A and B are shown apart, each in its own frame.
Chain A
Amino acid sequence: MFDPKGFFWFFGVIAMVSALLCITRRSPIASALWLVVTLFSIAALFVLLDAQFIAVLQVLVYAGAIMVLFLFVIMLLNLGRPGPSDIKGPLGLGVAVLLGAAMLFLLKPLGSATLPTAIQLPAGSVAALQQQRGIVGSVANPLFDAYLIPFEIASVLLLAAIVGAVVLAKRKL
Chain B
Amino acid sequence: MTGTPVDLIWLAPALALLGFVLNGTLALTRPNTKTLVSVIGAGVLLAAFAVAVVVFSNFRSLHPEDPVIYRYWSWIPVGTLQVDFAFQVDQLSLVMLLIVTGVGSLIHLFSIGYMKEDPGYARYFAYLNLFVFFMLVLVLGASFPVMFVGWEGVGLCSYLLIGFWFTDAANATAGRKAFIMNRIGDFGFMVAMFMIFWSMGSLDFATVFEHAPTALAPGGAAITAITLFLFLGCTGKSAQIPLYTWLPDAMAGPTPVSALIHAATMVTAGVYLVARCNLLFAMAPVSSAVVAGVGALTALFAATIALKQWDIKRVLAYSTVSQLGYMFLAVGTGAMTAGIFHLATHAFFKALLFLGSGSVIFAMHRAYHHTHVHEDAQDMRNMGGLARYMPWTAALMWIATLAIAGLPPLAGFFSKDEILTAAHARGHVQAIWLVFWGFGLVTALLTAFYMTRLMLYTFHGPNRTGEAERPHLHEAPWIMTGPLAVLGLLTLLGGLLNVPELYRGSAWLHHWLEPVTAPGAALIPDVHLSRSSEWLLVGIAVLTAVVGVVGAWRLLKPAELVPAKQAPEERGFARILRHKWYVDEIYDALFVRPLMWLSREILWKRVDQQAIDGAAVNGAARGARALGWANRWLQTGQVGTYVAVFVVGVLLLLWRALG
Q: Is the interface of B mostly helix, strand, loop or mixed?
A: helix
B640 and A103: CB pair below 8 A? no
A99 and B658: CB pair below 8 A? no
Q: Shortest CB–CB separation between residue A90 and chain B, in angstroms?
A: 14
- Residues of A within 8 Å of B651, CB to CB, are 99, 102-103, 106
Tell me the residues in window 617-659 of chain B with beta carbons closer than 8 Å to chain A beta carbons: 640, 644, 647-648, 651, 654-655, 658-659
A109 and B640: CB pair below 8 A? no
Q: Does A163 contact B (CB under 8 A)?
A: no
Q: How many A-B residue pairs have CB under 8 A?
A: 19
Q: Does A170 contact B (CB under 8 A)?
A: no
* Residue in B closest to A109 when the chains form the complex, CB atoms: B658
A92 and B640: CB pair below 8 A? yes
A106 and B655: CB pair below 8 A? yes
Complex Cα distance, B647 from A157, in Å, reads 27
- Residues of A within 8 Å of B648, CB to CB, are 99
Complex Cα distance, B639 from A88, in Å, reads 13
- Residues of A within 8 Å of B644, CB to CB, are 95, 99
Binding site for A on B (CB under 8 A): 640, 644, 647-648, 651, 654-655, 658-659
- Residues of A within 8 Å of B640, CB to CB, are 88, 92
- Residues of B within 8 Å of A106, CB to CB, are 651, 654-655, 658-659
Complex Cα distance, B655 from A74, in Å, reads 37
- Residues of A within 8 Å of B647, CB to CB, are 99, 103
Tell me the residues in window 25-83 of chain A with beta carbons closer than 8 Å to chain B beta carbons: none
* Residue in A closest to B653 when the chains form the complex, CB atoms: A106
Q: Shortest CB–CB separation between residue B644 and chain A, in angstroms?
A: 6
Complex Cα distance, B647 from A103, in Å, reads 9
Q: Does A107 contact B (CB under 8 A)?
A: yes
Binding site for B on A (CB under 8 A): 88, 92, 95, 99, 102-103, 106-107, 109
Q: List 3 A-B pairs, minimum CB-CB distance, nearest first.
A: A106-B654, A99-B647, A102-B651
* Residue in B closest to A95 when the chains form the complex, CB atoms: B644
* Residue in A closest to B651 when the chains form the complex, CB atoms: A102
- Residues of B within 8 Å of A102, CB to CB, are 651
Complex Cα distance, B650 from A106, in Å, reads 11
Q: Shortest CB–CB separation between residue A23 and chain B, in angstroms?
A: 14
* Residue in B closest to A99 when the chains form the complex, CB atoms: B647
Complex Cα distance, B658 from A106, in Å, reads 7
* Residue in A closest to B650 when the chains form the complex, CB atoms: A103
Complex Cα distance, B659 from A112, in Å, reads 15
Complex Cα distance, B649 from A99, in Å, reads 11
Q: Shortest CB–CB separation between residue B416 and chain A, in angstroms?
A: 97
Q: Shortest CB–CB separation between residue A101 and chain B, in angstroms?
A: 11
Q: Shortest CB–CB separation between residue A87 and chain B, in angstroms?
A: 12
> Which of A88, A92, A107 sits near B654, CB closer than 8 Å?
A107
Complex Cα distance, B640 from A102, in Å, reads 18
A-B contact pairs, 8 of them (CB 8 A): A88-B640, A103-B651, A106-B651, A106-B654, A106-B655, A106-B658, A107-B654, A109-B658
- Residues of A within 8 Å of B659, CB to CB, are 106
- Residues of B within 8 Å of A103, CB to CB, are 647, 651, 654
- Residues of B within 8 Å of A107, CB to CB, are 654, 658
Complex Cα distance, B149 from A113, in Å, reads 79
Complex Cα distance, B658 from A103, in Å, reads 11
- Residues of B within 8 Å of A109, CB to CB, are 658
Q: Shortest CB–CB separation between residue A83 and chain B, in angstroms?
A: 18
* Residue in B closest to A96 when the chains form the complex, CB atoms: B644
Complex Cα distance, B654 from A166, in Å, reads 38
* Residue in B closest to A88 when the chains form the complex, CB atoms: B640
Among A92, A95, A106, max chain B CB count under 10 A is at A106
- Residues of B within 8 Å of A99, CB to CB, are 644, 647-648, 651
Complex Cα distance, B658 from A95, in Å, reads 22
Q: Shortest CB–CB separation between residue A137 and chain B, in angstroms?
A: 36
Q: Shortest CB–CB separation between residue B599 and chain A, in angstroms?
A: 62
Complex Cα distance, B651 from A109, in Å, reads 14
Complex Cα distance, B648 from A95, in Å, reads 10
- Residues of B within 8 Å of A88, CB to CB, are 640
Complex Cα distance, B654 from A99, in Å, reads 12
Complex Cα distance, B659 from A99, in Å, reads 16
- Residues of A within 8 Å of B654, CB to CB, are 103, 106-107
Complex Cα distance, B654 from A73, in Å, reads 35
Complex Cα distance, B648 from A21, in Å, reads 24
Complex Cα distance, B659 from A109, in Å, reads 10
